[in-house]
Amino acid sequence: MTGRFCDLIQKKKNGKILTKEEIETMISDYCADKIPDYQMSAMLMAICFQGMNEEELSVMTSAMANSGERVDLSGIDGVKVDKHSTGGVGDKTTLIIAPIVAAAGIPVAKMSGRGLGFTGGTIDKLESIPGFCTEMNIDEFTSRVNQIGVCVAGQSGDLAPADKRLYALRDVTATVESIPLIAASVMSKKIAAGSDKILLDVTCGSGAFIKDIEGARELAKRMVAIGTSNGRETIALITDMDEPLGFAIGNNLEVKEAVEALHGNGPGDLMEVCYALAGNMIFLAGNGDVSYEEAVRLAKEKVDDGTAWKKFCELVESQGGELSYIENPGNFPKASKSREVKALQSGYLVSMNTAEIGVAAGMLGAGRETKDSEIDYSAGIVLKKKPGDAVKEGEIIATLYAADDRRLDMAEKHFLSNTRFGKERPEKRLMIIDRICK
Ligand code: URA
């Protein structure tokens, strides 16, 4: 950096446009520890308030994608379609759609993340299956995809390391909820991960980072534009995350729900989102030869005929997971304590502050309190009632699972203070709110 970084913070704070050189130097200097976290935090906050134009966002995304290795997936035959969700509560869609899409004959080379903030992470969920391994080098990754058509691995440490560092900083400086910062974070990883096409699940509502539809639409459009300008056909679905997806929140609880879903017994909201996501991945891989309707039909067929379930078993076995747990989900370790949460009044369960329900799951032990803390895979929440359901005072609305009463006390209080009851049934919400293509 030729000038002082402080002057660049001032420039963004005043709403000016940063140049290509300034952004590229900022990212490389930050990765080289030449910019301290306190200055980068101030810059991130300035971006939160002032935003970034198309050119700035495109340069920032490329600089972050180029901060580490770019994965070469050319050793895998076929069109590789990646999928990324902007995060949610109870979002176990990858566990269900990866085997569905692979069962439809499309290679799924998926790199996923761990839980962050109030959101859960696919890698933590999969690692709750005893033995399941998500760490591997790129050769092992591609060879698993070539052998069985699917592999779900943790992000290699060198995949967009700038995002890894920036995200950790954003998480503790209240700078996650920024459209350009989310767009650069997601798209830098997806571009570095090397797939041919990208499907984005832009979640929207109280359990998502972006709460309103206008914001979600803008985020979706900006990410689709970045994918397209990088030569990757990209589709974004805007999906509802105003309530937890499905009934289970917490790692092995969500794996059990995914197993049920792959046997054809998944909850309606979860399956609607899964079929839309899997359908869009199959559609993208079809290069125009498969209509969207046909792709969705195929996705459903793969669940109905049992091939998606078989593919999930192959996936678990190939990554070292013990099959006996998914074959008999009752074998999963259970939390030593549980508590039934009861409705405070009769009427309807009107709404939940879903991010805070995610926080309650974290209090139970389902998430990390600090970067290095251990997860309790059996902790979490199983909902019995969802917004829109009629309830009677004292009726069970959820069961909480944890290792001790202190966690149950804390989480029960938090759960109830973020759940609203009323006399009027709330309107049913659309699960698939919009689909944004180029
Ligand atoms: N998911 C990401 O990968 N990055 C963000 O900034 C938000 C959600």
Q: Whose CA is nearest to atom 2 of ligand 1?
A: 186
Q: Which atom of ligand 1 is nearest to the CA of 181?
A: 6
The predicted pLDDT at position 118 comes to: 79
Substitution candidate for ligand 1 out of 83, 209, 226, 239 with most atoms within 8 A of CB? 209
**For 412-437, what is the mean pLDDT?**
97
Give backbone dihedrals phi and psi of 351, rounded to 5 degrees, phi first: -160, 165
Share of the chain above pLDDT 70, in %: 99
| CA neighbor of 279 nearest in space, from 261, 302, 250 | 302
pLDDT score of 12: 98
Q: Does residue 371 have a pLDDT over 80?
A: no
Contact 270, 93 (CB under 8 A): yes
Sign of the C-alpha dihedral computed for residues 74, 200, 301 and 154 taken in this order? positive
At residue 372 the predicted structure's pLDDT band, cuts being 50, 70 and 90, is confident
Contact partners, residue 432, CB within 8 Å, separation at least 6: 237, 238, 239, 240, 272, 273, 276
Over the stretch 177-205, which tens digit does the pLDDT of each residue have?
999 999 999 999 999 999 999 999 999 99
Q: How confident is the model at residue 1 (pLDDT cuts 50, 70, 90)?
A: low
CA of 353 to the centre of ligand 1 (A): 20
DSSP assignment letter at 401 = E
Q: HSE of 222 in the Cβ direction (CA atoms, 13 Å)?
A: 27
Tens digit of each residue's pLDDT (9 = 90 or more) over 115-154:
877 788 999 999 999 999 999 998 999 999 999 999 999 9
Q: Is the per-residue pLDDT at 358 higher than 90?
A: yes
pLDDT in tens, 16-63: 999 999 999 999 999 999 999 999 999 999 999 999 999 999 999 999
What is the number of alpha carbons within 13 Å of residue 89 lying toward its C-beta? 30
Q: Using CA positions, which residue lies closest to atom 8 of ligand 1?
A: 86
Is ligand 1 within 6 A of the CB of residue 188?
A: no
Q: Where does the pLDDT of residue 2 fall: very low under 50, low under 70, confident under 90, or very high at 90 and above?
A: low
Q: How far is the CA of 185 from the centre of ligand 1 (A)?
A: 6
**For ligand 1, what atom is nearest to the CA of residue 170?**
6
Calculate mean pLDDT across residues 277-288: 96
Three-class secondary structure of residue 146 per DSSP: helix
Closest CA to 110 of 118, 120, 119, 100: 100
Q: Is 185 in the pocket of ligand 1 (CB under 6 A)?
A: yes
As given in the structure block, the two tokens for residue 198 are 């990208």
117 lines ligand 1 (CB under 6 A): no
Report the distance separating Cα 133 and Cα 152, nearest Å: 9
CA distance 308 to 302: 5
% the chain with pLDDT above 90: 92
Instruction: Give the pLDDT confidence of 199-255 residue by residue, as tens digits.
Output: 999 999 999 999 999 999 999 999 999 999 999 999 999 999 999 999 999 999 999
Query: What per-residue confidence (pLDDT) applies to 48?
Result: 98
Provide the mean pLDDT of the chain: 95
Higher pLDDT, 115 or 356: 356
Q: Which residue from 60, 169, 176, 185 has its CB within 8 A of the most atoms of ligand 1, so it is best to mutate?
A: 185
Structure-derived torsion over alpha carbons of residues 11, 12, 13, 14, reported in degrees to the nearest 10: 60
Residue 119's pLDDT is: 83
Q: How many CA within 13 A on the CB side of residue 180?
A: 20
Average pLDDT estimate for 403-407: 98
Q: Establish whether residue 87 lines the binding site of ligand 1, counting it when its CB lies within 6 angstroms of any ligand atom.
A: yes
Contact 304, 275 (CB under 8 A): no
Q: Does residue 156 surpass a pLDDT of 80? A: no
- pTM for this predicted structure: 0.95
| 213 class by beta-carbon count within 10 Å (0-12 exposed, 13-18 middle, 19+ buried) | middle
Active site includes 291?
no
